[in-house]
Amino acid sequence: MAVVRQTDAEPGAPIRLEGVCPVEDAETLAALILDDPNAPVNWTACTRMHTAVYQVLLRMRPTVLGPCGDPFVDAWLTPLGPE
């Protein structure tokens, strides 16, 4: 599991993507963002992102924090943020 959020997080606390984020993470991430639409997503520690995970970010447009740790996404698929 590479989507991390503290269980007792305050509303607005960042959601962290860590390491390799496989396809299953898409649903978890979507649920977390739906839960707290204002929470930013910190993707600096994500080393490789599956398309489905990227699609969630593209669809829901949370604020993303920092450069993406996945070099491919960082090079080609940013900026990404609220519309």
Among 3, 56, 64, 68, binds other proteins (CB under 8 A): 56
The token pair that represents 58 in the structure block: 């593209």
In single-letter form, the type of residue at position 6 comes to Q
The token pair that represents 40 in the structure block: 């930013």
Compute the least distance from the CB of residue 31 to other proteins, in Å: 8
Among 3, 17, 32, 49, binds other proteins (CB under 8 A): 49
Distance CA 42, CA 46 (A): 9
Compute the least distance from the CB of residue 14 to other proteins, in Å: 20
Q: Give the residue from 11, 12, 33, 68 showing the smallest Cα distance to 3.
A: 33
Q: Which residues bind other proteins (CB under 8 A)?
A: 23, 26-27, 29-30, 34, 49-52, 54-56, 58-60, 72-73, 76-77
